[in-house]
Amino acid sequence: METFNYVKAPNLEKALASANEAKFIAGGTTLVDLMKLHVETPKTLVDINLLPLDKIEKLPDGGLRIGAMVRNSDLAWNDEVKKSYPVLSEALLSGASPQLRNMATTGGNLLQRTRCMYFREPDAGTPGGYGCNKRTPGSGCAAMDGFNRIHAVLGTSDKCIATHPSDMCVAMAALEAVIHVEGPKGKRTIPFADFHKLPGDTPHIENALEPGDLITYVDLPKPVEGAKSTYLKLRDRASYEFALASAAVVARVEGGHIRYIRVALGGVGTKPWRSREAEAALMGKSATATTFKAAAEAALAKAKPHKDNAFKVELAKRCLVRSLKTATVTA
């Protein structure tokens, strides 16, 4: 590991003032791991664990404000989240292990980095190492013709096919969360759909944050009246494994017809994958197996499989169909 300067920020102002050229460290579950692998080599670490951003509060408009430092386990087990946003609780509890969930934070999970094994190679992107455009733009992509069973089929480019690994983010995409950021230019909010970036020609740019920006809160809109929500994750093991395909669905059915629907997929996209194509195929239609199948076909219509991951296309379709069934069952 490269050495670094360590700064403990006593408050938000000091954290923002020290942010220049630094990385913030909260839970450390991604950052420390990647520092050991020489993927991350920050010159300065600003520890933000003292910042008072660890609360979950109801907003006056009926929404929920989640502090960036709220740990994954606290968010998953929060009564309001369990009651009004079960898709988020289920997604969080399907991710990582209890120990990691006790450490990982809401803000940090938004910035979780890919598990692409080429990206995680210590010398990737250096001469003699595997090509990785995310590590070093222009160095190529070893995954493209390499072992790419775990890689993405949606949102890929000819520069990068790395999968976004987070479960939490898939639920938040379906819930249309809003991310609050504070930085050198002041405060701003970023809609969830605009936060993560497609790789395109610049896979090293993963999100809308600018240097010195700190995530402060994530707001969830008021729960949709009468809606059910669910998260289904399919993977190689029953627990403690990343998704091969997952689906987050928020749905309201009235008189057998779908009156509200939000769909997001995980494990298959280069970012948390909101599927407006699936939503368009579902909205106003009858909640039947035929409709669900059509929505799944629409969601994966633009999928681009590689050598080892073609199975994900069918797996994601079935995952979505099953989730839609669960979320539209009326009592």
Partner 1 sequence: MADSIDTRFRHLRSHTPEHSNHPLAPDQQSVELEPIGLESAHVRVSRRSFLSGIGATGLLASAAPLSTAATVEEPAQEQTEAAGGSTITLRVNGKDYTLKNLDPRATLLDTLRERIHLTGTKKGCDHGQCGACTVHVNGRRVNSCLSFALMHEGDEITTIEGVGQPGNLHAMQAAFVEHDGYQCGYCTSGQIMSAVALLKEPIGPSDDDVKQAMSGNICRCGAYTNILAAVKQVRSRA
Nearer to partner 1, 177 or 214 (CB): 214
**Closer CB to partner 1, residue 73 or residue 133?**
73
> Which residues are 265's β-sheet partners?
247, 273
140 touching partner 1, by CB under 8 A:
no
User: From edge to edge, which strands make up the β-sheet containing 245-254?
Assistant: 228-234, 245-254, 257-266, 273-274
Provide the residue count of the chain. Answer: 331
Among 10, 11, 36, 211, binds partner 1 (CB under 8 A): 36
Q: For residue 28, state whether it binds partner 1 (rule: CB under 8 A).
A: yes
CA distance 245 to 224: 25
Minimum CB separation of residue 270 from partner 1 in Å reads 23
Binding residue (CB under 8 A) for partner 1 from 16, 22, 24, 29: 29
What token pair was written down for 199?
Answer: 């790789």
Of 189, 240, 286, 301, the one binding partner 1 (CB under 8 A) is 240
Which residue(s) pair with 254 in the sheet? 257
Cβ atoms < 10 Å from Cβ of 73: 18
Q: State the nearest-atom distance from the C-beta of 231 to partner 1, in Å.
A: 15
Residue 23, classified by CB atoms within 10 Å of its CB into exposed (0-12), middle (13-18) or buried (19+), is middle
Does residue 248 touch partner 1 according to CB under 8 A? no
CB atoms within 10 A of CB 307: 13
Q: Can you tell me which of 12, 17, 103, 193 binds partner 1, judged by CB under 8 A?
A: 103
Least distance from C-beta 313 to partner 1, angstroms?
Answer: 28
* Interaxial angle between packed helices 311-328 and 289-299, expressed in degrees from 0 to 180 and rounded to the nearest 10: 140
Contacting partner 1 (CB under 8 A), which of 4, 277, 297, 308? 4
Could you say which of 5, 11, 286, 330 contacts partner 1 (CB under 8 A)? Answer: 5
Name which of 143, 129, 91, 114 is nearest 206 in CA terms.
114
Is there binding between residue 11 and partner 1 (CB under 8 A)? no
Q: What is the DSSP string of 1-19?
A: ----EEEE-SSHHHHHHT-
* Binding status of residue 23 toward partner 1 by CB under 8 A: no
| Contact residues: partner 1, CB under 8 A | 1, 3-6, 8, 25, 27-29, 32-33, 36, 45, 47, 49, 73, 77, 96-100, 102-103, 238-240
